[in-house]
Structure 1
Amino acid sequence: MVEAGVASADQVEFTECWKVTWKTPYIMRLALSAGLGGLLFGYDTGVISGALLYIKDDFDGVEKSTILQEVIVSMCVGGAIIGAAIGGYLSDRFGRKKTILASDIVFIIGAIIMAVAPAPWVIVFGRVLVGLGVGMTSMNSPLYISETSPAKIRGALVSINGFLLTFGQFLSYLINLAFTKAPGTWRWMLGVCALPALLQFMLMLWLPESPRWLYREESVEVEKEMEASTGKDTISKLKGALNDPVVRRGLYAGITVQVAQQFAGINTVMYYAPTIVQFAGFASKSVALALSLVTTGLNAFGSILSMLCVDRFGRRRMMIISMIGIISFLVALAIVFQQASTHAPTLSPVDSQSFGRNFTCQSYLSKVENTKWTCMDCLKAKCAFCANRANEVSSLNLPVTWLNSNAKYDS
């Protein structure tokens, strides 16, 4: 409800949602079916972090180029930007249901392309398609849920999309762990994400269109009033909306929240969590993935807390509290990274040269294909050797120094 231009959430216990959906399970079916779009988003966010560890093993170009690694990771977000931009138009033009179905098809095609990719550029193309599907469904799934939910429990039901997003991230790490020993590893990891998209497609086929969208399409008078006040084309509608002070204020608030959410940095942590864990000293891919489950698990737990509290304490209060927590922990994370970098052991070129180049690392000398020696190999060797910053990624000419057994790799 809105009083004096300020939104006030209904003080409804989360148990009300449980009571209503228990009596009318069809409501929960609607929310869960559409909410699978959040699961797709979350799964794709988390799965690439583990898959990337194994993609680097199959493609030397990816292993040697951090730029190519970043392109593979970020192209999904790039595709999502485009998908979200066209998703709004498609949603208004063809309906929420059809747009979600279309996004599922695009997502499935992208997942299959990634799974069979013979080269890194094919993975990038598949990531773009998956991003398109993610972008389309990320704005249509919560919209569909909100327009088909009872007002009293709308906040809790829309939160299901957010919960499934974080659960999808947690699930992706579990699936990554399951395929660490399977032939094809990363191909299975990326290909499995087609299954929830297929499930959503099948479920949505049997669900109705959003009643609000149908009402707008069937009511000629309402449509004429909207066109008279906002115009027929998109530009005119946008100008008309911006001229309305209430709409403009809501738009500014919504954009600010979305920008703040994306700039929080959680996606970076999710995309590179296993890599960060590896450089913390846990070189094993499976161990890195297992430890990364802590991050995704806490993320999912936070979504559950949100579902329990959103209708009781209100959207604004929950948002302020969460943003304070995000800022505090990001500052703590930055301090930890900075301290780790500052207190890394000092490397002495003089000491390194006294041992001779690459003649004191037995693990390196015994490696059959030592031209492919990587940072992870150094961590696995645990011989306390480090590369000088002046000669980063120089496999055959690593100036090394003997440090104590607690030394860290610093490149």
Structure 2
Amino acid sequence: MEVGPLKEDSSQFKNCFKLSLERPYILKLAFSAGIGGLLFGYDTGVISGALLYIRDEIGQVERSTVLQETIVSMAVAGAILGAGVGGWMNDRFGRRLSILFADVLFFVGAVVMAAAPTPGIIILGRIFVGLGVGMASMTAPLYISEASPHKIRGALVSLNGLLITGGQFLAYLINLAFTRVNGTWRWMLGVAGLPALIQFFLMLMLPESPRWLYRKDRKGEAEAILRKIYPEDEVSRELELLGKSVESEVADEGTIGVGFFARVKKAWTTRLVRRGLIAGIICQVAQQFCGINTVMYYAPTIVQLAGYSSNSTALALSLITSGLNAIGSIVSMFFVDRSGRRRLMIISLCGIIIWLGILSSVFYASSVKSPAVGFTETQHFSNFTCPAYNPAAINKWKCVDCLNAQCSFCANSHNKVSIHAYYFDIYNLNLPRELA
């Protein structure tokens, strides 16, 4: 509880809409900070489409799976470091300055990636973006919660989650928009600098979190901000509750210490807190281990493996995944207070298990039941096929093995992984194998 007691009910979103109309300043605070969530979602989703064109343009990336994975994963590595540093910055310099610093990282990372001449520079830009993602992922919801009226705090914090999934959907849309523009992937990655710039200037005009100001003994500034958030007759009560909450927090720190390890040790030795800590960790780990990040990072690649080889088609079909992800966030926002967190989590986990099982089954079936490639099938080529084909592997070599061989025997400039395009070129156009 940041500022007063949190009373959650099914009317929170109705109250959110009503209060936002009465006090648009509240919505300005939430949306300005929430752009950090939008950037978080955009930068995690944009690489899925950009990677397709990076591979096309830079042969070194196309030939190295390790390099491809490094380009994708360095943002995650940067986010881990950014989240750790962000916690210290939030306490030391405040939430507002932390968001401003994250915007600088976002902007620098976007510019570096857009202008990158080599894969190494792309990776460097991804690290900068990752640092920004790590800081924004923890600072934006913290700022929103501390600068929101307690009656609608849950709804406004949920807004940050919606902007994350909305940012992912926006990333796929922008990827699709730039498929026919010169410098495709550079535009895709560079566009992220624009919302970072917008948020930077918006945050310059917004105040610091009232809770952080109160903790730094700047009570007059904290009260001035509360007057913009709450009606005049509620300000004194909220200021009193804020003071009690901060004093309680300071007292707890005096008992357990201010160090990270001291806090963890105290939390782990307290039964009630330990149960909550375990539940929170399990939920976070399960959320990551369900594989949604993998799907979001590689959705177009997965679609191409399913047989839709065109980059633009793969991106268009990937919009379905990101769109459903955003819709799921909207649904959860409306039902989280009516149905409860536990029930929604169980339902969503069941859905995740079912659909991941279906996805795995489809890929397994495609690899096991794909048509065989053997002596009989290669008679059309006078037994002359790609170097990766091993005649000793008759009845074991499958169509999927051909696609994974990456020898370019079955490829042409229009449809990179379709063996049907090869048949068309050879038999209908009478092209030599080297041009197919």
The interval holding the TM-score normalised by the smaller chain is 0.7 to 0.9
Match of 1:379 in 2: 418
- 1:183 and 2:209 equivalent? no
Secondary structure, counterpart of 1:213 in structure 2: helix
1:323 to 340, 349, 353: 349
Counterparts in 2 of 1:351 and 1:339: CA distance versus 1, 3 Å: closer
Counterparts in 2 of 1:152 and 1:254: CA distance versus 1, 3 Å: same
Match of 1:142 in 2: 141
- 1:249 and 2:308 equivalent? no
Higher gyration radius (CA) = 2
2:308 to 272, 282, 285: 282
- 1:357 and 2:384 equivalent? yes
Secondary structure, counterpart of 1:344 in structure 2: coil
Secondary structure, counterpart of 1:103 in structure 2: helix
User: Which residue identity is paired with 1:110?
Assistant: G
User: By how many angstroms is 1:328 displaced?
Assistant: 1.6
User: By how many angstroms is 1:350 displaced?
Assistant: 5.8
How many residues align? The count is 373
User: By how many angstroms is 1:383 displaced?
Assistant: 3.6
Match of 2:361 in 1: 335
User: Which residue identity is paired with 1:308?
Assistant: F
Counterparts in 2 of 1:213 and 1:252: CA distance versus 1, 3 Å: farther
Match of 2:207 in 1: 208
Which residues in structure 2 correspond to 1:383-402 (within 5 Å)?
383=422
Secondary structure, counterpart of 1:152 in structure 2: coil
- 1:250-299: per-residue Cα shift (whole Å, max 9, x none)? 22222111111111111111111111111222111111111111111111
Distance 2:12 2:29 in 1: 21
Report if the CA contact (8 A) 1:41-1:165 is conserved.
Answer: yes
1:240 to 241, 246, 266: 266
Unaligned runs of 5+ in 1: 2-6, 360-369, 386-395, 398-411
Which residues in structure 2 correspond to 1:4-153 (within 5 Å)?
9-153=8-152
User: Which residue identity is paired with 1:91?
Assistant: N
Distance 2:139 2:114 in 1: 26
Counterparts in 2 of 1:223 and 1:34: CA distance versus 1, 3 Å: same
Counterparts in 2 of 1:216 and 1:182: CA distance versus 1, 3 Å: same
User: By how many angstroms is 1:311 displaced?
Assistant: 2.4
Distance 1:215 1:89 in 2: 18
Counterparts in 2 of 1:205 and 1:321: CA distance versus 1, 3 Å: same
Structure 1 range deviating more: 221-230 or 70-79: 221-230
User: By how many angstroms is 1:222 displaced?
Assistant: 5.7
Report if the CA contact (8 A) 1:173-1:293 is conserved.
Answer: yes
Match of 1:363 in 2: none
- 1:204-246: per-residue Cα shift (whole Å, max 9, x none)? 1121211222222227966752442121433323323333333
- 1:61-88: per-residue Cα shift (whole Å, max 9, x none)? 1101111111111111111111112211
- 1:124-158: per-residue Cα shift (whole Å, max 9, x none)? 11111100110111011111111222222222111
User: Which residue identity is paired with 1:377?
Assistant: K
User: By how many angstroms is 1:109 displaced?
Assistant: 0.8
User: By how many angstroms is 1:9 displaced?
Assistant: 4.5
Report if the CA contact (8 A) 2:176-2:315 is conserved.
Answer: yes
Distance 1:186 1:246 in 2: 49
Unaligned runs of 5+ in 2: 218-242, 387-405, 425-432
Counterparts in 2 of 1:173 and 1:108: CA distance versus 1, 3 Å: same
2:323 to 291, 297, 301: 297
Secondary structure, counterpart of 1:130 in structure 2: helix
- 1:228 and 2:267 equivalent? no
- 1:324-364: per-residue Cα shift (whole Å, max 9, x none)? 211221111111111121211111146437723249xxxxx
User: By how many angstroms is 1:160 displaced?
Assistant: 0.7
Report if the CA contact (8 A) 1:8-1:314 is conserved.
Answer: no
User: Which residue identity is paired with 2:382?
Assistant: F
- 1:65-123: per-residue Cα shift (whole Å, max 9, x none)? 11111111111111111111221121122211111111111111111111111100110
Distance 2:249 2:32 in 1: 29
User: Which residue identity is paired with 2:418?
Assistant: L
User: By how many angstroms is 1:13 displaced?
Assistant: 4.7
Report if the CA contact (8 A) 2:39-2:133 is conserved.
Answer: yes
Distance 1:55 1:125 in 2: 15
- 1:155-210: per-residue Cα shift (whole Å, max 9, x none)? 21111111111111111111111111111110010000111111111111121211
| TM-score normalised per structure 1 | 0.84
Distance 2:73 2:120 in 1: 13
| TM-score normalised per structure 2 | 0.79
Identical columns (%): 58
